[in-house]
Structure 1
């Protein structure tokens, strides 16, 4: 190809020049984006001035605010709401938490508190345990409607605690109506104490549905002590 043909081809394929107006528009857009980012992240125009806690009845709101680890003056846009929610869930009495922004200055933390399911009396008070086995609060007296339970180390990983929860979930209405307290000194030694001094030795938390059915039938007996640890061959004695 001759030189003059190469020059002609180069001219034909040359990209159009960017106009001065277009260059100005691009520059303005970049400046505006940078200014917007500075307003959101670098100025006090959208900084956190309040951490609003909702849903707290027994938990101190100051404890929740401290758990967020969000200081006043932090850019609201820079707050990782998922991370903050995870930290708040680490507070023992909190079952769940959500975190959101209320522009321009407020971080909103909404919590769901744990509900007591078991009461574990101890030397320093009554420990409350929720339905997942988490011990989360100590009070002076057993709340109405909560079963007292004797446990050495209540917790979601404690076999005796998990055993008691399994037993309770399997009880018939008749057994629930008679139940007064539960003792679980070991996972294999769960015992139900009924009104009037009667007892039911449950053993471990296996075959709970069958044990519940057998124990319900045996309630009609006059015996004071029932043993359903082997539900196929239950025993009764005065």
Structure 2
């Protein structure tokens, strides 16, 4: 039979009053039916002093939370990777753009270069042609001995003040043609202000007796100077009344020009009635039958050999050399 609730429960121990000490029987097995309560003074019941326990701190101050730092670091790495990927993508795009536009860029660079060259050329030509910075101020004449240098400078005075690119060389040629002793000339412009003219004068090759006057002439028959006495350094040419601009004098002059210098200085006179019977008189007394001016170089070599051979065998004998046939020289005794 179930008992009513509470019959078998042990009653709770009584609560001790302040200042009372609960005493229990030390003997085991004794019933706790009797308890004595006694009151003692409060001071005798104070427990001995103990050191104060440290105040417990919150757990989050002792253990650092690294999850937030790791998340931020991962976010930074992600952003850096994204930036690197974007930079690589842009580099690839630029490479592809350059590859597909290479021909266009080369064509554009070619046009730009050509345009720059044209601009530079036009600017240089404009500066050289129209700028007074490159105007002619000095004329230098070189190579004159018989030609009057002062007269040449006076004749070219009209070119002074012109830009070097606008010098009228046709007018220069016309002015210099007034000096018959000028055989040829070369001009050179030296920026910024100088024109150099190098003159080659006509060199006399023979003298011709006209009346009682000896005219000193060059190979073209141009009279260089006149004299009342025969010049000693050039041979006297007798063309039997022919003019100096004819074939007879031209043949005689060609023969003289073909001679080596060592042999030409020994020629005292030249005579010719036609262009095919030129004859030389040497200062040693010998004569040379030359014939026409054809093959004059071979004839000159043949004459040199004949003279050397004759001088080696009989140097005192007066002879006549015939070189009219350049492949068969003849020595005739006078």
- The answer, yes or no, to whether TM exceeds 0.5 is yes
Asked whether the equivalents of residues 285 and 318 of structure 2 are also in contact (C-alpha less than 8 Å), the reply is no
Asked whether the equivalents of residues 121 and 127 of structure 1 are also in contact (C-alpha less than 8 Å), the reply is no
Give the C-alpha shift of residue 59 in structure 1: 0.9
2:159 aligned counterpart, secondary structure: coil
TM-score by length of 2: 0.45
When Rg is computed on C-alpha atoms for both structures, the one with the higher figure is 2
Aligned partner of 1:15 in structure 2 is none
Could you give the per-residue CA deviations for residues 106-159 of structure 1, whole angstroms, max 9, x where no partner exists? 3221222233333334344322314xx45351242555533332243335x735
Match of 1:115 among 185, 197, 203: 203
1:162 aligned counterpart, secondary structure: helix
Give the C-alpha shift of residue 187 in structure 1: 0.9
Match of 2:160 among 55, 68, 72: 72
Match of 1:146 among 198, 221, 234: 234
Aligned partner of 1:194 in structure 2 is 282
Aligned partner of 1:127 in structure 2 is 216
Could you give the per-residue CA deviations for residues 5-51 of structure 1, whole angstroms, max 9, x where no partner exists? xxxxxxxxxxxxxxxxxxxxxxxx9xx959x94x7555655433442
Q: May I ask how many residue pairs the two structures share in their alignment?
A: 202
Aligned partner of 2:293 in structure 1 is 205
Give the C-alpha shift of residue 95 in structure 1: 3.6
1:188 aligned counterpart, secondary structure: coil
Asked whether the equivalents of residues 321 and 329 of structure 2 are also in contact (C-alpha less than 8 Å), the reply is no
Instruction: Kindly report structure 1 stretches of 4+ aligned residues shifted beyond 6 Å.
Output: none
Could you give the per-residue CA deviations for residues 68-89 of structure 1, whole angstroms, max 9, x where no partner exists? 58433323331255x5675577
TM-score by length of 1: 0.59
- Provide the rounded CA distance (Å) in 1 between the counterparts of 2:265 and 2:140: 42
**Which structure shows the higher strand fraction?**
1
Unpaired runs of 5+ residues, structure 1, are 1-28
Aligned pairs for 1:47-126 (under 5 A) are 47-65=135-153, 70-79=158-167, 83=170, 90=177, 91-123=179-211, 124-126=213-215
Give the C-alpha shift of residue 195 in structure 1: 3.1
